[in-house]
Structure 1
Protein backbone atom coordinates (compact mmCIF):
# COMPACT_ATOMS: atom_id res chain seq x y z
CA UNK A 1 0.00 0.00 0.00
CA UNK A 2 1.44 3.37 -1.04
CA UNK A 3 2.24 5.88 1.69
CA UNK A 4 0.92 9.36 0.99
CA UNK A 5 3.00 12.26 2.22
CA UNK A 6 1.17 14.71 4.48
CA UNK A 7 -0.40 17.69 2.75
CA UNK A 8 1.45 20.98 3.04
CA UNK A 9 -0.12 23.28 5.60
CA UNK A 10 2.58 25.87 6.31
CA UNK A 11 5.26 27.82 4.44
CA UNK A 12 8.28 29.39 6.16
CA UNK A 13 10.29 32.23 4.61
CA UNK A 14 13.79 33.48 5.25
CA UNK A 15 13.93 37.30 5.11
CA UNK A 16 16.98 38.73 3.32
CA UNK A 17 17.30 37.49 -0.24
CA UNK A 18 13.83 35.92 -0.14
CA UNK A 19 11.39 38.55 1.10
CA UNK A 20 13.60 41.62 1.60
CA UNK A 21 16.19 43.03 -0.80
CA UNK A 22 19.12 43.70 1.56
CA UNK A 23 22.05 45.69 0.17
CA UNK A 24 24.73 46.85 2.57
CA UNK A 25 26.08 49.25 -0.04
CA UNK A 26 22.81 51.21 0.01
CA UNK A 27 23.46 52.19 3.65
CA UNK A 28 27.01 53.37 2.92
CA UNK A 29 27.09 54.90 -0.56
CA UNK A 30 27.10 58.69 -0.58
CA UNK A 31 28.13 58.91 3.09
CA UNK A 32 31.70 57.63 2.70
CA UNK A 33 34.30 57.75 -0.09
CA UNK A 34 33.34 55.47 -2.97
CA UNK A 35 36.62 53.56 -2.88
CA UNK A 36 36.17 52.82 0.82
CA UNK A 37 32.59 51.67 0.26
CA UNK A 38 33.86 49.37 -2.51
CA UNK A 39 36.42 47.87 -0.13
CA UNK A 40 33.88 47.39 2.67
CA UNK A 41 31.36 45.75 0.33
CA UNK A 42 33.83 43.66 -1.66
CA UNK A 43 33.36 39.92 -1.95
CA UNK A 44 36.52 39.23 0.07
CA UNK A 45 34.96 41.11 3.03
CA UNK A 46 38.21 43.00 3.72
CA UNK A 47 36.84 44.77 6.80
CA UNK A 48 34.78 41.87 8.05
CA UNK A 49 31.40 43.61 8.09
CA UNK A 50 29.67 40.34 7.23
CA UNK A 51 31.49 38.54 10.05
CA UNK A 52 30.58 41.23 12.58
CA UNK A 53 26.96 41.18 11.46
CA UNK A 54 27.06 37.41 11.77
CA UNK A 55 28.14 37.76 15.39
CA UNK A 56 25.19 40.04 16.02
CA UNK A 57 22.89 37.57 14.26
CA UNK A 58 24.15 34.99 16.74
CA UNK A 59 23.01 37.19 19.60
CA UNK A 60 25.92 39.50 20.42
CA UNK A 61 25.10 43.15 21.05
CA UNK A 62 26.57 46.02 19.05
CA UNK A 63 28.31 47.18 22.24
CA UNK A 64 30.09 43.82 22.41
CA UNK A 65 31.07 43.77 18.74
CA UNK A 66 32.34 47.35 18.36
CA UNK A 67 35.51 46.88 20.47
CA UNK A 68 36.39 43.90 18.28
CA UNK A 69 35.93 45.96 15.11
CA UNK A 70 38.14 48.71 16.53
CA UNK A 71 40.80 46.21 17.60
CA UNK A 72 40.81 44.60 14.16
CA UNK A 73 40.50 47.65 11.91
CA UNK A 74 40.79 50.85 13.93
CA UNK A 75 38.44 53.51 15.21
CA UNK A 76 37.34 54.87 11.84
CA UNK A 77 36.04 51.53 10.58
CA UNK A 78 34.40 50.86 13.96
CA UNK A 79 32.60 54.22 13.71
CA UNK A 80 31.41 53.37 10.19
CA UNK A 81 30.16 49.98 11.32
CA UNK A 82 28.28 51.60 14.19
CA UNK A 83 26.73 54.13 11.81
CA UNK A 84 25.80 51.32 9.41
CA UNK A 85 24.02 49.35 12.14
CA UNK A 86 22.32 52.46 13.50
CA UNK A 87 20.87 53.21 10.04
CA UNK A 88 20.30 49.58 9.10
CA UNK A 89 16.94 50.37 7.53
CA UNK A 90 18.80 52.11 4.68
CA UNK A 91 20.15 48.68 3.66
CA UNK A 92 16.61 47.30 3.36
CA UNK A 93 15.95 48.55 -0.12
CA UNK A 94 12.55 47.00 -0.94
CA UNK A 95 10.48 43.85 -0.78
CA UNK A 96 11.65 41.53 -3.52
CA UNK A 97 9.34 41.41 -6.54
CA UNK A 98 6.49 38.94 -6.17
CA UNK A 99 7.33 37.81 -2.63
CA UNK A 100 4.62 39.83 -0.87
CA UNK A 101 2.00 38.66 -3.34
CA UNK A 102 3.11 35.05 -2.96
CA UNK A 103 2.75 35.27 0.82
CA UNK A 104 -0.62 36.97 0.51
CA UNK A 105 -1.83 34.29 -1.90
CA UNK A 106 -0.75 31.57 0.52
CA UNK A 107 -2.48 33.35 3.38
CA UNK A 108 -5.68 33.76 1.36
CA UNK A 109 -5.60 30.05 0.48
CA UNK A 110 -5.49 29.13 4.18
CA UNK A 111 -1.83 28.24 4.61
CA UNK A 112 0.24 29.28 7.60
CA UNK A 113 2.90 31.83 6.62
CA UNK A 114 5.93 32.25 8.89
CA UNK A 115 9.32 33.96 9.09
CA UNK A 116 12.63 32.37 10.12
CA UNK A 117 15.66 34.61 9.89
CA UNK A 118 19.27 34.99 10.93
CA UNK A 119 19.06 38.61 12.11
CA UNK A 120 20.27 40.73 15.01
CA UNK A 121 17.85 41.38 17.86
CA UNK A 122 18.94 45.03 17.71
CA UNK A 123 18.01 45.62 14.07
CA UNK A 124 15.10 43.26 13.33
CA UNK A 125 12.66 46.03 14.24
CA UNK A 126 13.76 47.93 11.13
CA UNK A 127 12.30 45.20 8.90
CA UNK A 128 8.84 45.49 10.42
CA UNK A 129 8.95 49.28 10.66
CA UNK A 130 9.96 49.73 7.03
CA UNK A 131 7.64 47.01 5.74
CA UNK A 132 4.67 46.97 8.15
CA UNK A 133 2.76 44.63 5.87
CA UNK A 134 5.02 41.83 7.11
CA UNK A 135 3.40 42.08 10.53
CA UNK A 136 -0.01 41.60 8.91
CA UNK A 137 0.99 38.73 6.63
CA UNK A 138 3.22 36.61 8.87
CA UNK A 139 1.69 34.44 11.56
CA UNK A 140 4.93 34.65 13.53
CA UNK A 141 8.68 35.08 13.14
CA UNK A 142 11.63 33.47 14.91
CA UNK A 143 14.84 35.52 14.97
CA UNK A 144 18.30 34.05 15.57
CA UNK A 145 19.66 37.01 17.52
CA UNK A 146 16.77 36.78 19.96
CA UNK A 147 16.95 33.02 20.41
CA UNK A 148 20.75 32.69 20.19
CA UNK A 149 20.22 29.84 17.76
CA UNK A 150 21.14 30.04 14.12
CA UNK A 151 20.55 28.53 10.68
CA UNK A 152 21.68 26.04 9.47
CA UNK A 153 21.77 24.35 12.90
CA UNK A 154 18.99 21.83 13.49
CA UNK A 155 18.02 23.19 16.89
CA UNK A 156 16.99 26.52 15.34
CA UNK A 157 14.56 24.88 12.90
CA UNK A 158 13.24 22.62 15.63
CA UNK A 159 12.65 25.61 17.88
CA UNK A 160 10.74 27.35 15.10
CA UNK A 161 8.54 24.33 14.49
CA UNK A 162 7.68 24.13 18.19
CA UNK A 163 7.09 27.87 18.45
CA UNK A 164 4.84 27.88 15.40
CA UNK A 165 3.07 24.68 16.45
CA UNK A 166 3.57 23.06 13.04
CA UNK A 167 5.02 19.80 11.73
CA UNK A 168 8.17 19.45 9.65
CA UNK A 169 6.70 17.08 7.08
CA UNK A 170 3.79 19.38 6.28
CA UNK A 171 5.95 22.51 6.04
CA UNK A 172 8.02 24.14 3.30
CA UNK A 173 10.98 26.46 3.82
CA UNK A 174 12.57 28.94 1.39
CA UNK A 175 16.07 30.37 1.80
CA UNK A 176 18.52 31.88 -0.67
CA UNK A 177 21.49 30.01 0.87
CA UNK A 178 21.98 26.35 0.06
CA UNK A 179 23.40 25.35 3.45
CA UNK A 180 20.28 26.73 5.14
CA UNK A 181 18.10 24.76 2.74
CA UNK A 182 20.09 21.63 3.62
CA UNK A 183 19.68 22.38 7.33
CA UNK A 184 15.90 22.53 6.97
CA UNK A 185 15.81 19.27 5.02
CA UNK A 186 17.90 17.61 7.73
CA UNK A 187 15.03 18.03 10.20
CA UNK A 188 12.42 16.83 7.71
CA UNK A 189 11.14 20.14 6.33
CA UNK A 190 10.55 20.39 2.58
CA UNK A 191 12.96 23.10 1.47
CA UNK A 192 13.97 24.94 -1.68
CA UNK A 193 16.64 27.44 -2.55
CA UNK A 194 14.91 30.70 -3.42
CA UNK A 195 15.80 32.34 -6.72
CA UNK A 196 12.64 34.35 -7.38
CA UNK A 197 8.98 34.35 -6.43
CA UNK A 198 7.85 32.73 -9.66
CA UNK A 199 10.14 29.73 -9.10
CA UNK A 200 9.04 29.51 -5.47
CA UNK A 201 5.44 29.41 -6.65
CA UNK A 202 6.28 26.55 -9.01
CA UNK A 203 8.11 24.72 -6.22
CA UNK A 204 5.06 25.00 -3.97
CA UNK A 205 2.71 23.82 -6.69
CA UNK A 206 4.96 20.79 -7.23
CA UNK A 207 4.14 19.80 -3.62
CA UNK A 208 0.42 20.20 -4.16
CA UNK A 209 0.06 23.68 -2.69
CA UNK A 210 -3.07 25.30 -4.11
CA UNK A 211 -2.15 28.82 -5.17
Structure 2
Protein backbone atom coordinates (compact mmCIF):
# COMPACT_ATOMS: atom_id res chain seq x y z
CA UNK A 1 0.00 0.00 0.00
CA UNK A 2 2.80 2.42 0.86
CA UNK A 3 3.98 2.40 -2.76
CA UNK A 4 0.54 2.99 -4.28
CA UNK A 5 -0.06 6.45 -5.70
CA UNK A 6 -3.02 8.20 -4.11
CA UNK A 7 -5.69 9.22 -6.61
CA UNK A 8 -8.78 9.67 -4.44
CA UNK A 9 -9.71 10.82 -0.95
CA UNK A 10 -12.87 9.65 0.84
CA UNK A 11 -14.32 11.62 3.75
CA UNK A 12 -16.61 10.83 6.62
CA UNK A 13 -19.11 13.62 7.31
CA UNK A 14 -19.84 14.32 11.00
CA UNK A 15 -16.63 15.14 12.84
CA UNK A 16 -14.69 15.46 9.58
CA UNK A 17 -16.52 17.63 7.06
CA UNK A 18 -19.23 18.83 9.44
CA UNK A 19 -19.42 19.90 13.05
CA UNK A 20 -22.05 17.63 14.67
CA UNK A 21 -23.38 18.96 17.96
CA UNK A 22 -26.43 17.36 19.58
CA UNK A 23 -26.34 19.93 22.36
CA UNK A 24 -26.75 22.77 19.86
CA UNK A 25 -30.06 21.26 18.80
CA UNK A 26 -31.47 20.76 22.31
CA UNK A 27 -30.05 23.59 24.43
CA UNK A 28 -32.61 26.23 25.31
CA UNK A 29 -35.44 23.95 24.24
CA UNK A 30 -35.31 21.50 27.15
CA UNK A 31 -34.11 21.72 30.78
CA UNK A 32 -30.34 21.96 31.14
CA UNK A 33 -30.11 18.92 33.41
CA UNK A 34 -31.96 16.80 30.86
CA UNK A 35 -29.77 18.04 28.01
CA UNK A 36 -26.63 17.35 30.06
CA UNK A 37 -27.79 13.80 30.73
CA UNK A 38 -28.64 13.17 27.08
CA UNK A 39 -25.26 14.46 25.94
CA UNK A 40 -23.16 12.68 28.57
CA UNK A 41 -20.32 10.59 27.15
CA UNK A 42 -21.71 7.30 28.50
CA UNK A 43 -25.02 7.87 26.64
CA UNK A 44 -27.30 7.13 29.63
CA UNK A 45 -30.40 8.07 27.61
CA UNK A 46 -29.41 5.94 24.65
CA UNK A 47 -29.73 8.79 22.15
CA UNK A 48 -26.60 7.83 20.25
CA UNK A 49 -27.52 4.16 20.37
CA UNK A 50 -30.90 4.91 18.82
CA UNK A 51 -29.31 7.23 16.31
CA UNK A 52 -26.83 4.50 15.42
CA UNK A 53 -29.76 2.20 14.67
CA UNK A 54 -31.12 4.84 12.30
CA UNK A 55 -27.68 5.12 10.71
CA UNK A 56 -27.80 1.37 10.07
CA UNK A 57 -31.04 1.74 8.14
CA UNK A 58 -33.89 1.53 10.66
CA UNK A 59 -36.74 4.04 10.48
CA UNK A 60 -37.57 6.49 13.27
CA UNK A 61 -41.12 5.17 13.40
CA UNK A 62 -39.83 1.69 14.24
CA UNK A 63 -37.35 2.92 16.86
CA UNK A 64 -39.58 5.36 18.77
CA UNK A 65 -41.60 2.64 20.54
CA UNK A 66 -38.33 1.23 21.90
CA UNK A 67 -37.24 4.70 23.08
CA UNK A 68 -40.58 5.17 24.81
CA UNK A 69 -40.45 1.76 26.48
CA UNK A 70 -36.80 1.99 27.53
CA UNK A 71 -36.48 5.71 28.37
CA UNK A 72 -40.03 7.01 28.96
CA UNK A 73 -42.37 9.42 27.19
CA UNK A 74 -40.37 12.60 27.88
CA UNK A 75 -37.14 11.33 26.36
CA UNK A 76 -39.00 9.75 23.45
CA UNK A 77 -40.55 13.14 22.69
CA UNK A 78 -37.13 14.82 22.90
CA UNK A 79 -35.58 12.22 20.60
CA UNK A 80 -38.38 12.78 18.09
CA UNK A 81 -37.77 16.53 18.33
CA UNK A 82 -34.03 15.99 17.84
CA UNK A 83 -34.52 14.06 14.63
CA UNK A 84 -37.12 16.55 13.36
CA UNK A 85 -34.72 19.47 13.96
CA UNK A 86 -31.53 17.66 13.04
CA UNK A 87 -30.22 20.55 10.97
CA UNK A 88 -29.79 22.49 14.22
CA UNK A 89 -27.20 19.88 15.26
CA UNK A 90 -25.10 20.78 12.19
CA UNK A 91 -23.91 24.31 12.95
CA UNK A 92 -21.07 24.58 10.41
CA UNK A 93 -18.55 22.87 8.17
CA UNK A 94 -15.33 22.24 10.06
CA UNK A 95 -12.63 24.87 9.51
CA UNK A 96 -10.54 24.38 6.40
CA UNK A 97 -12.39 21.35 5.07
CA UNK A 98 -14.22 22.97 2.16
CA UNK A 99 -10.89 24.49 1.13
CA UNK A 100 -9.22 21.07 1.35
CA UNK A 101 -11.85 19.55 -0.94
CA UNK A 102 -11.42 22.44 -3.36
CA UNK A 103 -7.64 22.07 -3.40
CA UNK A 104 -7.80 18.31 -3.92
CA UNK A 105 -10.14 18.69 -6.87
CA UNK A 106 -8.09 21.52 -8.35
CA UNK A 107 -5.06 19.22 -8.33
CA UNK A 108 -6.88 16.36 -10.02
CA UNK A 109 -7.73 14.14 -7.04
CA UNK A 110 -11.14 12.55 -6.63
CA UNK A 111 -13.15 13.47 -3.52
CA UNK A 112 -15.95 11.29 -2.15
CA UNK A 113 -18.15 10.83 0.90
CA UNK A 114 -18.78 7.77 3.08
CA UNK A 115 -20.95 8.32 6.12
CA UNK A 116 -22.91 6.53 8.80
CA UNK A 117 -26.09 8.59 8.61
CA UNK A 118 -29.85 7.98 8.60
CA UNK A 119 -31.63 8.02 5.25
CA UNK A 120 -34.26 10.22 6.93
CA UNK A 121 -31.92 13.10 7.80
CA UNK A 122 -28.93 12.92 5.44
CA UNK A 123 -30.56 15.28 2.94
CA UNK A 124 -30.11 18.07 5.50
CA UNK A 125 -26.33 17.98 5.07
CA UNK A 126 -26.51 18.98 1.42
CA UNK A 127 -29.47 21.31 1.89
CA UNK A 128 -27.63 23.24 4.58
CA UNK A 129 -24.17 23.02 2.99
CA UNK A 130 -24.73 22.82 -0.79
CA UNK A 131 -21.05 23.45 -1.49
CA UNK A 132 -20.30 19.96 -0.16
CA UNK A 133 -22.70 18.42 -2.65
CA UNK A 134 -21.06 20.43 -5.45
CA UNK A 135 -17.58 19.29 -4.49
CA UNK A 136 -18.11 15.61 -3.65
CA UNK A 137 -18.28 13.35 -6.68
CA UNK A 138 -20.47 10.82 -4.89
CA UNK A 139 -21.48 9.79 -1.37
CA UNK A 140 -22.41 6.43 0.14
CA UNK A 141 -24.84 6.73 3.07
CA UNK A 142 -25.15 3.83 5.51
CA UNK A 143 -28.84 4.33 6.20
CA UNK A 144 -29.64 4.17 2.49
CA UNK A 145 -27.54 1.07 1.88
CA UNK A 146 -28.44 -0.61 5.21
CA UNK A 147 -24.74 -1.21 5.73
CA UNK A 148 -22.65 0.35 8.45
CA UNK A 149 -19.04 1.29 9.12
CA UNK A 150 -16.81 -0.35 10.27
CA UNK A 151 -18.13 -3.45 8.46
CA UNK A 152 -16.20 -4.33 5.31
CA UNK A 153 -19.25 -4.46 3.06
CA UNK A 154 -19.88 -0.69 3.08
CA UNK A 155 -16.27 0.14 2.18
CA UNK A 156 -16.33 -2.41 -0.63
CA UNK A 157 -19.66 -1.07 -1.88
CA UNK A 158 -18.24 2.47 -1.89
CA UNK A 159 -15.17 1.39 -3.85
CA UNK A 160 -17.33 -0.42 -6.40
CA UNK A 161 -19.86 2.41 -6.61
CA UNK A 162 -17.17 5.04 -7.11
CA UNK A 163 -15.03 2.82 -9.38
CA UNK A 164 -11.94 3.07 -7.16
CA UNK A 165 -9.03 0.84 -6.19
CA UNK A 166 -8.56 0.50 -2.44
CA UNK A 167 -4.80 1.03 -2.41
CA UNK A 168 -5.13 4.31 -4.28
CA UNK A 169 -7.57 5.76 -1.72
CA UNK A 170 -7.26 7.61 1.56
CA UNK A 171 -10.20 7.61 4.00
CA UNK A 172 -10.57 10.13 6.82
CA UNK A 173 -12.82 9.37 9.79
CA UNK A 174 -12.89 10.66 13.36
CA UNK A 175 -13.73 7.22 14.83
CA UNK A 176 -10.87 4.77 15.32
CA UNK A 177 -12.84 1.59 14.61
CA UNK A 178 -13.90 2.99 11.23
CA UNK A 179 -10.25 3.55 10.36
CA UNK A 180 -9.53 -0.07 11.23
CA UNK A 181 -12.39 -1.13 8.96
CA UNK A 182 -10.99 0.89 6.07
CA UNK A 183 -7.49 -0.48 6.57
CA UNK A 184 -8.81 -4.03 6.58
CA UNK A 185 -10.11 -3.65 3.01
CA UNK A 186 -6.86 -2.06 1.83
CA UNK A 187 -7.77 1.64 2.01
CA UNK A 188 -5.31 4.04 3.69
CA UNK A 189 -7.45 4.85 6.75
CA UNK A 190 -6.38 7.95 8.68
CA UNK A 191 -7.84 9.20 11.95
CA UNK A 192 -9.01 12.77 11.43
CA UNK A 193 -8.08 15.56 13.84
CA UNK A 194 -8.33 18.77 11.82
CA UNK A 195 -7.78 20.14 8.33
CA UNK A 196 -4.09 20.94 8.86
CA UNK A 197 -3.35 17.44 10.15
CA UNK A 198 -5.27 16.00 7.18
CA UNK A 199 -3.13 17.99 4.75
CA UNK A 200 0.05 16.88 6.49
CA UNK A 201 -1.05 13.23 6.43
CA UNK A 202 -1.90 13.45 2.74
CA UNK A 203 1.50 15.02 2.01
CA UNK A 204 3.21 12.10 3.75
CA UNK A 205 1.39 9.78 1.32
CA UNK A 206 2.65 11.77 -1.66
CA UNK A 207 -0.41 13.97 -2.27
CA UNK A 208 0.79 17.32 -3.55
CA UNK A 209 -1.45 20.36 -3.14
Give the structure-2-normalised TM-score: 0.98
Correspondent of 2:39 among 32, 38, 41: 41
Deviation at 1:76, TM superposition (A): 1.3
Question: How far, CA to CA, are the matches of 1:64 and 1:25 in structure 2?
Answer: 24
**2:77 equivalent in structure 1:** 79
Question: How far, CA to CA, are the matches of 1:4 and 1:127 in structure 2?
Answer: 33
Aligned partner of residue 91 in structure 2, secondary structure = strand
**1:116 equivalent in structure 2:** 114
Q: For structure 2, which runs of at least 5 residues remain unmatched after alignment?
A: none
Question: How far, CA to CA, are the matches of 1:41 and 1:190 in structure 2?
Answer: 32
**1:70 equivalent in structure 2:** 68
Contact 2:116 2:148 in 1 (8 A): yes
Deviations along 1:140-199, whole A, 9 cap, x unmatched? 000000001110011110000000001000000000011100110000001110000001
Deviation at 1:136, TM superposition (A): 0.5
Question: How far, CA to CA, are the matches of 1:22 and 1:93 in structure 2?
Answer: 7
Question: How far, CA to CA, are the matches of 2:2 and 2:150 in structure 1?
Answer: 28
Deviation at 1:6, TM superposition (A): 2.5
Q: How many residues align?
A: 209
Contact 2:117 2:141 in 1 (8 A): yes
Answer yes or no: is 1:25 the counterpart of 2:41: no
Question: How far, CA to CA, are the matches of 2:160 and 2:77 in structure 1?
Answer: 39
**1:11 equivalent in structure 2:** 9
Give the structure-1-normalised TM-score: 0.97
Correspondent of 2:87 among 82, 89, 100: 89
Alignment of 1:52-71 (within 5 A): 52-71=50-69
After superposition, the Cα gap between the structure-2 partners of 1:70 and 1:4, relative to the gap in structure 1 and judged at 3 Å, is closer
Deviation at 1:5, TM superposition (A): 2.2
Deviation at 1:7, TM superposition (A): 1.2
Q: For structure 1, which runs of at least 5 residues remain unmatched after alignment?
A: none
Aligned partner of residue 188 in structure 1, secondary structure = coil
Deviation at 1:4, TM superposition (A): 7.9
Runs of 4+ displaced beyond 6 Å: none
**1:138 equivalent in structure 2:** 136
